[in-house]
Amino acid sequence: MKIFLDPPLSGKENMARDLAMLETASQNREVICRFYSWDSPTISLGYFQKPEKVLHLDVLEKYGVKWVKRPTGGRAVFHYREITYAVALPADYPNLPQGITGAYRFISEPIYKAFLRSNLPVKWARQEKNTTEACFLAPSRHEILLKGHKIVGSAQRRIADAVLQHGSILLDAQPEIFAKCLKDVDEELLIRQLRKRTMVISVDQFTLQKNLIREFRRYYS
C-alpha cells in the first residue's frame, strides 16, 4: 500500500486528491491511504447536499469559513482541527464486504485499533437515526465511540471497481460557529446536541498519527 502525509490544504484540493486516489485505486489495483488537514475552517457537504439549501453563505463569509462538496455522500461536517483520513482500495480487495455497513467497519478497523493503541477505550456504535444536516449528531453501526460520544465521522463512495472512504477525527471543535452556518436548525439545540454526542480527543496528535500509520500498514500489508 501507499501512505501519504499531506500538509494543510484547501477543501477543494483535499477533495480533488481524495477523488484522484479513488481513480488510482481503480486503475492500479492498489490500496492508498492519506492523512491530511485543512488550511482554513471548512464545511464539507455530502455529494447530494445543496449549499444554498444547507448553508448561510453570508455567515460563512463573516467567520472566514469555506465550503466544499465531497465526492462522497453523507451530511455536513465542520473541519477545524482534526486528523482527516482517506482510504481508497479495489472493490475486490480480499475480505472487503460488499455491503455498505460491513465495508465501513472493515475499512475503519485500523482506526479502531490505533485508538486502542493510543489508550483510548473506544467501542463500536449502534445505529441511531439522524434527522439533521450535521454528520456528527448520530452514529451508525460502523462508527467509533469513546465513552458514548462519536469521535470519527466517515463517508464513502463506490465506483465499479474501487471504494473511497474518508473521515474526520476531531481534535478540537467550534460548534457555535457550525450551528450559525447551517440553515433551518435550532442553534442552541444543535450546540447542546453536538456537545453531548461528540467528543474532542485528548491525545497527542503525532502519537495518534503514528499509531494510525502503523495500524494501516499492518492491516493492509
* Residues carrying an active site annotation: 135
Dig out the grid coordinates for 167 from the structure: 473521515
DSSP helix/strand/coil, 110: helix
For residue 46, give the 3-state DSSP assignment.
coil
- Count how many Cα atoms sit within 13 Å of the Cα of residue 203 in the half-sphere of its side chain: 25
Q: Which three cell numbers stand for residue 113?
A: 485499533
Report the distance separating Cα 54 and Cα 182, nearest Å.
Answer: 6
Residue 160, burial from CB neighbour count under 10 angstroms (0-12, 13-18, 19+): exposed
Q: Angle, nearest 10°, between helix axes 205-219 and 100-117?
A: 130
Positions of E strands within the chain: 2-5, 32-36, 42-45, 66-69, 77-79, 82-90, 122-124, 144-146, 149-150, 152-159, 162-170
